């Protein structure tokens, strides 16, 4: 019988060696929680934290959220998980105090006692079973189902002990259980009003959901009956403010304290300000240009390859992003387990691009639509790509949509070409590979390329069950090379997460997945 510590050593060693340390200091005014206001005189507990954001959440049901900006509102705040990531992305106890992997297919968890959900329902093994059974039930229709689909059965031994029986080994299980997908939901809420979870979340976390004014703000309040260490804030308001300049002005004037969506064009202004501070941390996400491989003309691999050769990625990184982040070579960040430096993106080669367009029968040109959300940098990137592709006869029509509408569009496969990003929430390559490229993930789970390749499916499935980290790395390298050969996407940059904050807020940080961590945060009153 293996203890959980030994299991983590065997199963997750490769992950933890390559995971990002939560914060990077390069070129920033703050490098960690301490410097994000923590070196100043500590204010009294309490206060209201206002976080201003570009777009509203798309929903608040963790079984249906597929984007980190929405999950950021509830993950670790309203909802908790059996296990959690610490600041260095190591797995630590949360609602489970300890766990054992008794064999390749069996995981046993011991649960915290005397915990209640926000509606007064006791947290116990039955609640864990109810939550996991819901996400696995085909009738639920959760786009997250495949992420926990290897769980064959949830067995309740007694109120504080639950066993997960798997259909096959699954190396990243703990990392998924620590993510938004592993959120434990009130069984009463599931039974009585499951349809309301999208707008009224009910968890065990340190904050309680209070209200959501669609398109305006979401408010959480301190859970006064929280079972763990209580948070210091009285209230958190996530306010929708679409205009970049307005968000900065609100922080500068003290109307808000944090924005975790910072235009790179404003970095110089922030760093020269006495009242604004810039937080920078390397992330686990990758930004890319994607193709709908089922939609003409991108159902032709030669056209996808031609566009890949015609996009000058370095110019985008420097000209659009002001060198925030690093040039990507694949859809996997260097900080994610399974990354390979051996994958090479298509070099800029306009002649090769023209040759491929001719071979595809499109030497006279073609008109395509490029979809992007309404983030300023992505609109700028779209305009640069529009200019670059003119050189090979591709006339690009740019479609700009508000974030929620953009998600609906790519989920429904109504696009041809799009600017996207995948924010890895676990630090494990399976989160990239399965969600972005497996045929079971087409649509809302994340495969917006509508890419289907039986060989890729097989490799991804092998990567999930392989327990040897070095062999898993080899599998992912093989898969990523085939995806690059098929020109499914054009990698642009590895993320660097930014936040701007004022002098009134102390002791917050962004983790590598870009979740805002505010358990110890205070705001001067």
- The structural domain count of the chain equals 1
Q: Transcribe 199-225 into DSSP letters.
A: TS---SSSEEEEEEETTTEEEEEE-TT
Q: Is residue 430 part of a domain?
A: yes
Rounded to an integer, what distance in angstroms lies between the CA atom of residue 91 and that of residue 99?
Answer: 11
pLDDT in tens, 113-158: 999 999 999 999 999 999 999 999 999 999 999 889 999 999 999 9
The reply to whether 370 falls in a domain is yes
Which pLDDT score, from 0 to 100, does residue 37 have?
45
Give the pairing of strands 489-502 and 326-327: antiparallel
Q: Which residue carries 């999930």 as its tokens? A: 464
309 inside domain: yes
CB atoms within 10 A of CB 26: 9
The answer to whether the pTM exceeds 0.95 is no
* Paired sense of beta strands 235-240 and 48-53, if any: parallel
In this prediction, residues 8-32 reach a mean pLDDT of 37
Neighbours of 130 (CB within 10 A): 21
Report d(CA 500, CA 246) in Å as an integer: 13
> Which structural domain, as residue segments, surrounds residue 433?
285-495
Which pLDDT tens digit goes with each residue over 200-249? 999 999 999 999 999 999 999 999 999 999 999 999 999 999 998 999 99
Q: What is the CATH number of the domain that holds 316?
A: 3.10.105.10
Please say if the pLDDT value at position 431 is more than 90. Answer: yes
Residue 451 lies inside a defined structural domain of this protein: yes
- For residue 193, tell me if it sits in a domain: no
What 3-state class would DSSP assign to 237?
Answer: strand
Burial of 233 (0-12, 13-18, 19+ CB in 10 A): buried
Measuring CA to CA, which residue among 222, 119, 99, 218 is closest to residue 161? Answer: 99
Residue 421, C-beta contacts closer than 8 angstroms, at least 6 positions apart:
285, 286, 287, 288, 495
pLDDT digits (tens, 9 = 90+) for 288-339: 999 999 999 999 999 999 999 999 999 999 999 999 999 999 999 999 999 9
Q: Dihedral sign for Cα 182, 408, 518, 500, please.
A: positive
Asked whether residue 88 is assigned to any structural domain, the reply reads no
Residue 15 pLDDT greater than 70, yes or no: no
Q: Span 411-432, mean pLDDT? A: 93
Residue 50 structure tokens: 């206002």
Contacts of 310 (CB under 8 A, 6+ apart): 348, 350, 353, 388, 389, 391, 392, 394
Q: What is the pairing mode between strands 366-373 and 394-401? A: parallel
For the chain, give the longest Cα–Cα distance.
Answer: 70
Question: Predicted confidence band at 44 (pLDDT cuts at 50, 70, 90)?
Answer: low
The answer, yes or no, to whether residue 165 has pLDDT greater than 70, is: yes
Instruction: In whole angstroms, give the CA distance from residue 52 to residue 60.
Output: 18
Residue 506 within a domain:
no
Residue 471 lies in a domain: yes
pLDDT attached to residue 315:
96
């Amino acid at each position: 019988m293996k203890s959980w510590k030994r299991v983590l050593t065997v199963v997750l060693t490769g992950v933890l060696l390559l995971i990002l340390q939560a914060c990077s200091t390069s070129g920033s005014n703050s490098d960690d929680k301490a410097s994000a206001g923590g070196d100043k005189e500590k204010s009294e507990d309490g206060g209201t934290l206002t976080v201003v954001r570009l777009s509203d959440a798309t929903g608040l049901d963790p079984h249906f959220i597929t984007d980190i900006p929405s999950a950021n509102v509830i993950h670790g705040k309203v909802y908790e998980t059996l296990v959690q990531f610490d600041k260095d992305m190591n797995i630590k106890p949360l609602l489970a105090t300890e766990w054992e992997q008794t064999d390749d297919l069996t995981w046993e968890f011991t649960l915290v006692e005397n915990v209640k959900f926000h509606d007064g329902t006791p947290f116990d093994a039955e609640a864990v079973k109810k939550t996991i059974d819901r996400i696995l039930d085909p009738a639920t229709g959760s786009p997250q189902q495949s992420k926990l689909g290897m769980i064959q059965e949830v067995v309740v031994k007694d109120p504080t002990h639950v066993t997960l029986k798997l259909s096959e080994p699954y190396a990243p299980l703990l990392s998924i259980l620590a993510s938004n997908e592993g959120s434990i939901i009130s069984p009463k809420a599931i039974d009585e009003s499951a349809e309301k979870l999208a707008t009224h979340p009910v968890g065990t976390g340190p904050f309680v959901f209070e209200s959501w004014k669609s398109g305006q703000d979401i408010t959480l309040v301190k859970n006064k009956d929280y079972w763990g260490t209580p948070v210091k804030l009285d209230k958190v308001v996530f306010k929708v403010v679409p205009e970049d300049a307005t968000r900065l002005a609100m922080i500068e004037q003290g109307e808000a304290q944090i924005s975790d969506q910072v235009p790179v064009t404003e970095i110089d202004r922030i760093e020269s300000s006495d009242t604004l501070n810039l937080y920078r941390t390397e992330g686990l996400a990758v930004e890319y240009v994607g193709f709908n491989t089922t939609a003409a003309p991108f159902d032709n691999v030669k056209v996808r390859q031609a566009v890949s050769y015609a996009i000058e990625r370095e110019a985008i990184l420097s000209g659009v992003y002001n060198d925030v982040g690093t040039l990507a070579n694949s859809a996997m960040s260097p900080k994610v387990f399974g990354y390979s430096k051996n994958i090479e993106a298509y070099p800029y080669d306009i002649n090769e691009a023209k040759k491929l367009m001719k071979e595809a029968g499109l030497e006279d040109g073609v008109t395509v639509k490029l979809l992007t959300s309404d983030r300023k940098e992505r609109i700028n990137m779209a305009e640069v790509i529009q200019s670059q592709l003119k050189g090979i006869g591709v006339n690009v029509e740019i479609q700009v949509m508000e974030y929620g509408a953009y998600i609906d569009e790519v989920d429904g496969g109504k696009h041809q070409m799009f600017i996207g990003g995948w924010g890895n929430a676990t630090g494990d390559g399976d989160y990239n590979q399965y969600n972005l490229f497996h045929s079971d993930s087409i649509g809302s789970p994340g495969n917006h390329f509508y890419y289907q390749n039986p060989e890729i499916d097989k490799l991804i499935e092998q990567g999930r069950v392989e327990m040897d980290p070095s062999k898993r790395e080899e599998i992912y390298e093989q898969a990523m090379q085939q995806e690059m050969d098929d020109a499914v996407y054009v990698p642009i940059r590895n993320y660097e997460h930014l936040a701007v904050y004022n002098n009134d807020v102390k002791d917050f940080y962004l983790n590598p997945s870009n979740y805002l961590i505010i358990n110890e945060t205070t705001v001067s009153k």
